[in-house]
Amino acid sequence: MSGAALSNLRIDTARLGADLAALAEITEPGRPWTRRAFTPKFLEGRAWLEGRMQAAGLTTRIDAAGNLIGRLAGKTSGAGVLMVGSHSDTVPDGGRFDGIAGVLAGLEIARAVQDQGITFAHDLEIVDFLAEEVSIFGVSCVGSRGLSGQLPEDWLSRIADGRDLKAAIAEAGGAIEEATPRADVKGFLELHIEQGPVLEAEGLPIGVVTAIAGITRVLVTVAGRPDHAGTTPMNARQDALIPAAELVLAIRAKADALAAGPGHFTATVGEFRMEPNAANVVPARVEMLIDARASERADMEAFLDWLGTEGARHGAEVKVLSDNPPKPSHPAVCDLLEAAAEKLGAGHRRMVSGAGHDAAWMGRIAPTAMVFVPCAGGRSHCPEEWAETGDIALGAAVMLETLIEMDRLVPVIA
């Protein structure tokens, strides 16, 4: 466990570790750790998880958006719900802890509450959200968008493997046409591995996430003219690759400048396609896809304004494909998480998430915040992804202490 050796946790670390190991074993043969949403292996993992929820005394159901929910009733009928969750689906070859740690930490919290005779006024729900990762349908956060009433209608007709998304949600047990935004959620917490190197480098076991960066994706197209690479004089060419390459370097420089400010900012040219992509032909067309992320909306707007001007200067067409704003965490919930970490003697820091999470959508309907725990080398979305059970247990303990306070303070933080 990172930080001080703690003996005052209410969490059973060994039990949590056994669950993490058991769920990791449910993976596509020869492809650790792979349980993609809308596949038989994902449903096998879901069945195992539902069984563990039921064994822990939770009442389980699949909601209309296809989310698996385990419920522990509170003592005050109609008081509403405190919710903890994440996702059990994975990216290909790289999901041993990403998402899974948050679902199983929630399950262990529910067990700890019962083991120690803690009674909440509010219901406690542990949620495994459907398809948080980019799925075979090319979209992500399906379950949390559906639960919070933010799933675009046109997504439901997307086709993959011979059926549309609506049918795939039904295969997972949902009925998306019946989904309505939840109005009873009074607070939401999510634990996740950091997926970056900051906590490990600073020797801190807990990150309190103050915001989830907004994600914007931009298609940039540069047109040139195909000509013979051996006979066309250098001064007579319209080579699309030259301005495109200059743009890539300029994007990096602009991102570096924005990242030097107070907010979190990244921009990545992650896809790059050249036509006709032949050694003896002058490049005629280049397309690049930019993934830009910002915790401050003003930084993203500044980047997009600059990109429009810079793209025009290089003769490029710039088209914004998607643009999701950042989602700040609830300040009072962040304060409670910090107070819980202090109570447990756990070192902590505030930080921004550059990755998207279900919490970004839940934060639109309820007071929400996240806890990050370290992962080895900052590695994630790869087979080498690793987090120590003790760190996950400590994160769960911080959330449990926070939930106890949230249960008492719901009218204050609403």
Structure tokens at 182: 């939840």
- Beta-sheet pairing, 81-87 with 123-129: parallel
Q: Which helix (H) or strand (E) holds 58?
A: none
Structural element, H or E, at residue 311: helix 297-313
SS3 25: coil
Residue 111 known to bind ligand? no
> 364: which residues sit within 8 A by CB, 6+ positions away?
148, 150, 327
Q: Token digits for 219? A: 């298609």
Tokens representing 87 are 């996702």
- 192 belongs to an annotated ligand binding site: yes
Residue 108 is encoded by which pair of tokens? 């262990």
Q: Which helix (H) or strand (E) holds 37?
A: none
> Has 381 been labeled as part of a binding site?
yes
> Is 87 part of any known ligand binding site?
yes
DSSP 130-170: S--S--TTS---HHHHHHTT---GGGGG-EETTEEHHHHHH
Dihedral pair phi/psi, residue 221, rounded to 5°: -120, 130
- Cα–Cα nearest to 192, from 264, 293, 84: 84
SS (H, E, C) 178-198: HCCCCCCEEEEEEEEECCCCH
User: Residue 377 half-sphere exposure, CB side, CA atoms within 13 Å?
Assistant: 8
Nearest to 42 by CA among 382, 50, 385, 59: 50
- Is 277 part of any known ligand binding site? no
Beta-bridge mates of residue 170: none
164 assigned to a ligand binding site:
no
Burial label for 364, CB within 10 Å (0-12, 13-18, 19+), is: middle
- Which contiguous run of DSSP H or E holds residue 105? helix 100-115
What residues form the annotated binding site for allantoate?
217, 280, 293
What residues form the annotated binding site?
87, 98, 133, 192, 217, 280, 293, 381
What residues form the annotated binding site for Zn(2+)?
87, 98, 133, 192, 381
